[in-house]
Structures are given as C-alpha cells and as structure tokens.
C-alpha cells in the first residue's frame, strides 16, 4: 500500500486531501518531520491562504530544503492550490521568495468588466498534456472546483499540463514535469473528477513502488 506524506505547515485543511487519497487506497500521514517526508513513497503539498505566510511557515520548519531534496530524489510529488504557487520563484501576492523549483511567478487575474475575482466555483480544464497519468480515465474538458485570485505563469509554457479560462484570460490550471505534478484547483472538492485524479496519483505511486522493488 502506498504511504503518502502530507506536509503540515498550518496552511489549510489537510485532512480533506488525506480522505481522498485514502479512498484511493493510500495510507496517509500528516507531518512536518523531514525524516518522515523523506521516507514516504510520495509527498503531497496542499495549501489554502496567502503566499508569504506559506513560505514563512515552511522556512520556520526548515522544510524548504526538504521539499527541494524530495523533488530532486524523483519521488512522486503533488502540489495543490497554494502548494502549486510556492513551487515558483515569487508572487505578486507577497514579497517572500518561493521555492524556485520552476522559473516563473505567480500573478493576479487582471480586472475586466464582469469578471469575478476570486475565480470561484466549477470550471473546465483544457488539457495541454493529455497523456499525463494524472488525467487517466477523465473525460475531455472535465469540470473541477477552483478558488483563487492568483495563478502561476511558468516561463516555459511546456510545463503546463492543463489550462482554464476565466473571462478572457486563459491561465495555468496544472503543471507537470518528471515526478512533479501540481494543480490550481481542489481535487478534494471536485467530486468524481477530483477523486479520480487523486486515485490516478495513488496508482502512479504504486506503479513506482513496483518498479523500485523489481
């Protein structure tokens, strides 16, 4: 059974993400201990809130270098919402530097007539990496649940795994590169589609376990 560590840094409800992963057959453990994160089969970085407090909490727990080491090790890694933002270099939302795993910054939606900010509610993904394992068994353009005023803008558009359109603006909804996947939306709030995405992540972790054991 896949052992998935969920990073605890006081930013959001971690247990809803755990519930979805457990329904998919994983064993989850919420922790901020480096040894437990490094020994897990995979790591999830969820988050709700603002960029600067998130980075300050991570730095206070000395977790920034641990996350970099986890990603460099090739261990499957999933970021959710704020857990996507902090993988980048910085944000218009604050002044703290991000983890800098990927080049690019977090930007705020530009105001336009009749555009609601935050972008809140159900919207459709447009896959830009349709072959990604995270999207397995999903229909084209699935509906998922968003709550955000800021979005990531990678320097390299090839990093995008999915986009979403809000008003006239089409922005990053998910990224993927090698062992790292991260999503702007909340799979734990996205009903059947979200549970399938979490199940796909668990299946990917289990597949890597088999490869490592062989």
What is the reported pLDDT for 14? 85
Domain ranges of the chain: 3-213
81 has pLDDT over 90: yes
123 has pLDDT over 90: yes
The verdict on whether 18 is a catalytic residue reads no
Contact 45, 71 (CB under 8 A): no
Catalytic residue among 18, 57, 81, 166: 81
What is the reported pLDDT for 5? 97
The verdict on whether 81 is a catalytic residue reads yes
Q: Please state, in angstroms and as integers, the Cα–Cα distance from residue 62 to each residue in 50, 107, 111, 154, 191, following that order.
A: 19, 26, 37, 25, 34
> Six-digit token pair at 199?
């199940």
pLDDT digits (tens, 9 = 90+) for 35-65: 999 999 999 999 999 999 999 999 999 999 9
What is the reported pLDDT for 94? 95
Average pLDDT of the segment spanning 1-6: 93
Crossing angle of helices 191-213 and 14-23, rounded to 10°: 70
pTM score, whole prediction: 0.97
What is the reported pLDDT for 174? 99
CATH architecture classification, 3-213: 3-Layer(aba) Sandwich (3.40)
Contact 25, 202 (CB under 8 A): yes
* Better-scored residue on pLDDT, 174 or 212: 174
């Amino acid at each position: 059974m896949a052992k998935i560590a969920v990073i605890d840094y006081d930013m959001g409800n971690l247990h809803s993400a755990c519930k979805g992963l457990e329904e998919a057959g994983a064993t989850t453990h919420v922790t901020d201990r480096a040894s437990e994160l490094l020994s897990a089969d995979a790591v999830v970085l969820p988050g709700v809130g603002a960029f600067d407090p998130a980075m300050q909490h991570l730095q206070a727990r000395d977790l920034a270098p641990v996350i970099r080491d986890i990603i460099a090790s090739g261990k499957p890694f999933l970021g959710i919402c704020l857990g996507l933002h902090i993988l980048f270099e910085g944000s218009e939302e604050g002044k703290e530097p991000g983890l800098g795993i990927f080049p690019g910054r977090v930007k705020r939606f530009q105001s336009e007539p009749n555009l609601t900010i935050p972008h809140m509610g159900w919207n459709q993904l447009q896959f830009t990496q349709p072959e990604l394992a995270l999207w397995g068994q999903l229909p084209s353009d699935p509906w998922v649940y968003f709550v955000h005023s800021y979005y990531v803008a990678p320097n390299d558009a090839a990093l995008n795994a999915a986009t979403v359109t809000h008003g006239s603006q089409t922005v990053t909804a998910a990224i993927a590169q090698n062992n790292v996947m991260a999503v702007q939306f909340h799979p734990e709030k996205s009903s059947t589609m979200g549970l399938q995405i979490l199940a796909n992540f668990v299946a990917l972790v289990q597949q890597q376990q088999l490869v490592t054991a062989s």
